[in-house]
Structure 1
Amino acid sequence: MSIVVVGSANLDLVYRVERIPPPGETVLAVGSDSAPGGKGNNQVIAAARAGARATFVAALGRDAAAERLIASLEDAGVDLRIRRVDEPTGTAIITVDDSAENAIVVDSGANRMLDGLDDSEREVVAAADVLLLQLETPLATVTEAAAVAHASATTVVLNAAPIQSLSAAFLADVDVLVVNEHEAAHLAAELTGEAVHEASGEDLAAILSRLGLAVIVTLGADGAVVRVPDEPPAHVAGRVVDAVDTTGAGDTFCGALVAELDRRRGTNGSAGSGRPDLGTLVRAAEFATVAAAISVQRAGAVPSIPSLEEIHDFNSAS
């Protein structure tokens, strides 16, 4: 059983503020820190800490930030397929306010150089049981990875973030789409040509499932909606916790989701066979919701990601 993540890696520069400033206003931070981040990096570490055998395909610079990211990935037990390029490692500036909300600006840097897959990277993707993708690296590369995986009967999971327009041909290679309500509304509006900003998570999932793929719409503290074409929706309840920092919670959800999806599909012998059934997706989403609930109680992206033991302990205690 194996998971491959093709995606981004950044060094996060985190500033804690009482409130996130509007345009034109300056606020003073009450503290700052730096930590490994980037959606791909966060998700592959979340998968590894949740018990998966995980491989990361990414691009990093030849700088101190890259060495710090590599050390963090190796510490998590991730198998690395890293390109070292002549661009600085990606960075993100993150402000986190007293209500645990955040605002993020990303400089992609070396992530822009993950431009197409080489032969060895294609082999790694084709051999995976599950491929997890996001949209912080060039879309052409993401599209290529999905096509290679789909041709090999690898289950393809796409976290469509940060949101952008996606072609029907690309989505045809995706088995499971994971989006938050904002991302779901954007894609649903493109699909229908209608304004859907007031639509519920269930309605958005129903619209997106018309594409013929499974859909998970995450609802923050309210859990998630899971929808498979031609079946009624299922709601996964959220966990009530005191949030400290929501940075990376969605990435933790995605990484834990594919780890549990891979584990459960391996148990019933269906791993690597395309779209999972509704029951398998719901159980994986329940596991991922617990992981995300643990993560928001701690500061930072990678530092907040829980281990498999912590996820099991939380479940046992609740």
Structure 2
Amino acid sequence: MSSGRTEIAVVGSVNVDLVATVARLPLPGQTVPALGFEQFSGGKGANQAVAAARLGRRVALVGLTGSDAEGAAVRAALARGGVDVTHLGVADGAPTGRAIVLVADDAENSIVVVAGSNALLGEVDVAAASEELRDAAVVLAQLEVPVDAVLAAARGAAGTFVLNPAPARELPDELLDLVDVLVLNEVEYEVVIGRPLPADLADLPAHLAQSGLRCAVVVTLGGRGAALCQDGAVVVETPPHVPVVDTTGAGDTFIGALADALSRHEGPPAALRWAVHAASLSVGALGATTGMPTSDQVGASLARSSTDDGVPR
């Protein structure tokens, strides 16, 4: 990460990911043998920060680890990844967060998150990073930390505030009113918006208008890409065809890349396309951050896509 002011401030979680590969995800009550096991740094906040930093942005992460060895390890990994950890504090008496991840042969996954120190992040921790929030072109938050901390981040953001409401829950109107870009998947859409995603994406503007949301909304659609709804118009971006090893970090890569593009003042449709290509590249390696691409790699993917479909972009 180059020196200079923060371009993207991320307020969010930091975990240790415990990843077991299995032939297939177990059914309820079923025990299956692991084919392999690895440990990675993770957490939605940390993953999204790494994704944006790998794309060349100056990123500051606001969060908490435990005072355990795992906390020191993830802090070191984030710093190696180019993330400013000045405001990554240490919570005494709580372990660093954990995520237990099962990845099947078909690249589907199941994840259980243990909040640990992430549950203690508060308004005071966010206030300590007020300069970074004011400087940043984009402030990004998720819901693996308390809503009060997220609301403090939204209030302190001087630039674009991007919210990824995951894990999904109903949100206070005060928070939603401060959101500039809401990024969520189909399951999260139903929880936050209060109704299922319409089968015809052309119905999104009417659907969202009824909910009272005034922000831009981006819906990630897994292997089908993503859709943007803004000012009554819908843009759908489909991904390139790529080999899939592990989809665990694809959503976080998408959001980090979207923040990257928005911080460079790209328009939302261009940012959507950039993010879809970044996410598609990320699924080629095991682990949430291992396959996250560089800016050159995303640019090459965009160039290949333009050549393949014959449409100038």
State whether TM-score is above 0.5: yes
1:146-157 matches, cutoff 5 A: 146-149=154-157, 152=158, 154-157=159-162
Contact residue 2 and residue 53 of structure 1 kept, 8 A: yes
Letter in 1 for 2:72: E
SS at match of 1:303: coil
C-alpha root-mean-square deviation of aligned residues, in Å? 1.6
Residue 311 of structure 2 corresponds to none
Query: SS where residue 58 of structure 1 aligns?
Result: strand
Equivalent in the alignment of 1:163: 168
**TM-superposed deviation, 1:125:** 1.3
- Unaligned runs of at least 5 residues, structure 2: 1-5, 306-313
TM-score by length of 1: 0.88
Structure 2 counterpart of 1:219: 221
Report the counterpart of residue 253 of structure 2 in structure 1.
252
Is the 8 Å Cα contact of residues 202 and 234 (structure 2) preserved in structure 1?
yes
Q: Which residue, 28, 33, 36 being the options, matches 2:38? A: 33
Decide whether aligned partners of structure 1 residues 148 and 66 sit closer, same or farther in structure 2, where only a CA change above 3 A counts. same
Q: Equivalent residue for 1:139?
A: 147
Q: Take 2:12 and 2:69, find their aligned partners in 1: how far apart are those partners?
A: 20
Shift of 1:205: 5.9
Distance in 1 of aligned mates of 2:140 and 2:205: 19
Change (3 A) 1:99 1:62: same
Structure 2 residue matching 1:96: 3-state secondary structure: strand
1:285 aligns with 2:293: no
Cα offset, 1:197, TM superposition: 5.9
Residue of structure 1 equivalent to 2:308: none
Aligned length: 295
Q: How far off is 1:85 after superposition?
A: 1.1
1:12 matched to 2:17? The reply is: yes
Q: Which amino acid aligns with 1:221?
A: G
SS, match of residue 33 in structure 2: coil
**1:90-120 deviation line (CA, Å, top 9, x unaligned):** 0100000011000000111010111223442
Tell me what 2:236 maps to.
235
Give the drift of 1:148. 1.6
Deviations, residues 130-168 of structure 1 (Å, cap 9, x unaligned): 10010000111101110121xx3x210001111001111
Structure 1: 4+ residue segments shifted above 4 A? none
Cα distance in 2 between the residues matched to 1:94 and 1:204 = 32
Distance verdict in 2 for CA 1:85–1:211, change over 3 Å: same
Secondary structure in 1 matching 2:82:
coil
Aligned to 2:129, what secondary structure does the other structure show? helix
Query: Using the alignment, how far apart are the partners of 1:200 and 1:92 within structure 2?
Result: 34
Give SS of 1:65's match: helix
Greater relative CO, 1 or 2 (CA 8 Å, sep 6+): 1
Q: Distance in 2 between matches of 1:217 and 1:34?
A: 29
1:14 partner SS: strand
Q: CA deviation at 1:206?
A: 4.6
Contact map agreement 1:117 1:145 (CA 8 A) in 2: no
Shift of the alpha carbon at 1:171?
A: 0.4
Percent of residue pairs bearing the same amino acid type: 42
Gaps of 5+ in 1: 190-194, 266-279
